[in-house]
Structure 1
Amino acid sequence: MAFDNPDLTALLGSRICHDLISPLGAIGNGVELLMMSGDTTGPEIALISESVSNATARIRFFRIAYGMAPPGQTVSRGEVRSILDDMTRGGRLNIDWRIPGDPPRPETKLAFLALQCLETALPFGGRITVTADDCGWRIEAQAEKMKIDDALWVRLDGAAPEAAQIAPAHVQFALLPEEATRLGRRLRVARAEGRIAIGY
């Protein structure tokens, strides 16, 4: 598929994820074979297996959040659910994906970037709910204790100075507004006690 104005950031994201997913899968398969053979047991193998599973889920997540999202392409609900379940298994964060059917990939990409933004506000754990209706999508986080960096969140309203620096760990706050603009969507941030939501 040809792109008149290629999104180089997305192309780079797709390439990196594509190149990493195969060797990680091979490591995971190797660990499974070791466990099945019974030659190696113990917490070390379990730790390796869990780490590979989490890393694989993260890369699958990044592939959607930072990779190409051609118009007309969808993501199966089963794939989304599998990624989010694997990524949060054993952790303090719960993600409730309530989108029916197979959503468009561009919309899912926006949702995944929003999920990463909300994840930064929940270092102590919490719950994120993803819903959509005729008015648009809403990704809402709830927790008893949150950590919200206002300097990051103003970027979603377009209020941050263009020259303002951003750390690599927070690149999602720079990419989400760009991606929303690309799709002709306007981001909305709503805050209340114990909750924060992103809509578009």
Structure 2
Amino acid sequence: MSSNDPLASPDLTSLIGSRICHDLISPVGAIGNGLELLSMAGSGGPEVALISDSVSNANARIRFFRIAFGMASSEQGTPRSEILSILRDIYGETRIKLDWAVNVDCRRAEAKAAFLTLLCLENALPYGGEIVVTRSDGRWQFTAISPKLKYDEALWAVSTSSAPFELSPKNVQFALLPEALARLGRRLALTQTQGTLALTY
């Protein structure tokens, strides 16, 4: 294998992501447990409720990022119930309606690529919209729909053709997605029309 082969060396980015999420999940969970004890002791109130909501949001994001940015071994699986739980906590109170129409469990590497794809599609839906996720005969399809769809051609070129582009931290998923797909032996294909953005791999 050449040194440019994504499978030829350890995925250091994912190792770092896994380490950060692993180290954060326990203290955030402990804060949540402490807030629950305060509520049971009658020390609740709007302040505690606000902190509790923030902890729940942080916990959901860590669980999501653990899959999107963490390690994904070829043997590891991700139950559909876990995916639905994470996505419900992430998108349940947002302007994005997500329909995860994949009715089976999937490999962790597939879940990783799917979550990175969702992060990319969020960029196209700044005013909200709908994302439908399906899988048929091993092929994944993501369809984003919005009357105010935002399509940044230069940004998406990073994921479809590895075109050079100066990314900001909030858009790092566009560079990580093709690497995740390469480890699956896949490549992203994109179709954009008025109000719709469809991705397949």
CA distance in 2, matches of 1:135, 1:80: 18
Identical positions, percent = 55
Secondary structure, counterpart of 1:139 in structure 2: strand
Offset of residue 186 of structure 1 = 1.4
**Match of residue 60, structure 1, among 59, 63, 88:** 63
**Match of residue 72, structure 1, among 64, 72, 75:** 75
The residue correspondences of 1:73-152 to structure 2 (distance < 5 A) are: 73-134=76-137, 136-152=139-155
What's 2:171 paired with? 170
Offset of residue 159 of structure 1 = 5.3
Offset of residue 144 of structure 1 = 1.9
CA offset digits 1:47-78 (Å, max 9, x no partner): 21111111111111111011111002110111
Offset of residue 182 of structure 1 = 2.1
| Structure 1 contact 156–189 (Cα < 8 Å) conserved | no
CA distance in 1, matches of 2:35, 2:126: 30
Which residue identity is paired with 2:94?
Answer: G
Offset of residue 101 of structure 1 = 2.0
TM-score in terms of structure 1 length: 0.92
TM-score in terms of structure 2 length: 0.91
Offset of residue 110 of structure 1 = 0.6
Offset of residue 160 of structure 1 = 1.4
CA offset digits 1:31-53 (Å, max 9, x no partner): 222222222212x2222111111
CA distance in 2, matches of 1:173, 1:180: 11
> Is 1:192 the equivalent of 2:196?
no
Which residue identity is paired with 1:36?
Answer: M
CA gap of 1:145–1:61, structure 2 versus 1, over 3 A, is same
CA offset digits 1:113-165 (Å, max 9, x no partner): 0000001111111111110001500111111212222211111221513xx31
What's 1:41 paired with? 45
CA distance in 2, matches of 1:145, 1:80: 28
What's 1:17 paired with? 21
Quote the RMSD (CA, aligned, Å): 1.6
Larger CA deviation: 118-127 vs 29-38: 29-38
What's 2:12 paired with? 8
CA distance in 2, matches of 1:4, 1:117: 26
| Structure 2 contact 68–113 (Cα < 8 Å) conserved | yes
Offset of residue 16 of structure 1 = 0.4
Structure 2 runs not aligned, ≥5 long: 1-6
